[in-house]
């Protein structure tokens, strides 16, 4: 299955999450950048608030699309030790990459939140959304970060991911919602007709629009 774009994927994903429509404790948390476009559509349909979980993939030197782990806000670090050992990546190289991604994570937190505090997660149903998963390292880090804040229920929702990744992530989530689970999987972009890079400005605009909608609903 191919999606027209992230908006289309978000609309289809929201349809599979319809049991959460208007549930008062639901919070959609998207992974920037591409996941925010999908998450915005999901939050619109579910009539829920939208927030973010900032996660950075730790790419293998020379093969940045290949994840050897990920970091998330709150000092969360998830590493694929088997891959790191197989590729003989030294501690020095690893720590250099982690430091670089931590700087980018902090930059994005500052830009997207604008100094506002993160929302309360404890006791709520959290729906973690991204535009797709490959190894699942970034989503795993996001799930660990959310779990530490004791949500009532954690749902991982994505348009596409390999079956093996969904199985692995089921250990971290109460529910996995995935529209397409192709056995042959090379990259997320191959399942989209339009998979352009999402800008920081687009993320900020969607978060502003979602916040404005939530404020009107509470008024």
What pLDDT digit, counting tens, does each position of 10-21 carry? 999 999 999 999
Looking at residue 63, what is its pLDDT?
85
Give the separation between CA 20 and CA 195, rounded to whole angstroms: 27
Nearest C-alpha neighbor of 98 from the set 87, 116, 110, 84: 84
Give the separation between CA 114 and CA 116, rounded to whole angstroms: 6
Looking at residue 4, what is its pLDDT?
98
Phi, psi of 26 (to 5 degrees): -80, 135
Looking at residue 218, what is its pLDDT?
52
Length of the chain equals: 219
Looking at residue 217, what is its pLDDT?
63
Model confidence, pTM: 0.89
Cα-based distances in Å from 129 to 47, 90, 98, 133 = 15, 32, 23, 10
Q: Are 184 and 20 in contact (CB under 8 A)?
A: no
128-142: average pLDDT: 94
* 6-218 is classed CATH 3.40.50.2020: yes
**Longest pairwise C-alpha distance within the chain:** 56
**115 pLDDT band (50/70/90 cuts)?**
confident
Nearest C-alpha neighbor of 55 from the set 141, 155, 174, 164: 141
């Amino acid at each position: 299955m191919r999606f027209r774009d992230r908006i289309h994927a978000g609309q289809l994903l929201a349809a599979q999450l319809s049991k959460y429509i208007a549930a008062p404790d639901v919070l959609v948390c998207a992974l920037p950048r591409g996941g925010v476009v999908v998450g915005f559509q999901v939050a619109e349909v579910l009539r829920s608030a939208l927030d973010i979980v900032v996660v950075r993939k730790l790419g293998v030197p020379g093969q940045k699309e290949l994840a050897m782990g990920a970091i998330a806000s709150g000092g969360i670090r998830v590493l694929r030790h088997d891959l790191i050992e197989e590729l003989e990546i030294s501690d020095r190289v690893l720590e250099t990459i982690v430091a670089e991604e931590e700087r980018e994570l902090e930059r994005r937190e500052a830009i997207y939140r604008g100094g506002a505090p993160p929302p309360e997660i404890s006791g709520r149903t959290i729906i973690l959304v991204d535009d797709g998963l490959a190894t699942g390292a970034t989503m795993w880090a996001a799930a660990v970060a959310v779990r530490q804040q004791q949500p009532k229920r954690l749902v991982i929702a994505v348009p596409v991911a390999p079956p093996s990744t969904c199985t692995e992530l089921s250990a971290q989530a109460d529910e996995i919602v995935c529209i397409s689970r192709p056995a042959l999987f090379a990259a997320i972009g191959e399942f989209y007709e339009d998979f352009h890079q999402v800008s920081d400005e687009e993320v900020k605009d969607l978060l502003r629009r979602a916040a404005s909608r939530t404020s009107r609903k509470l008024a």
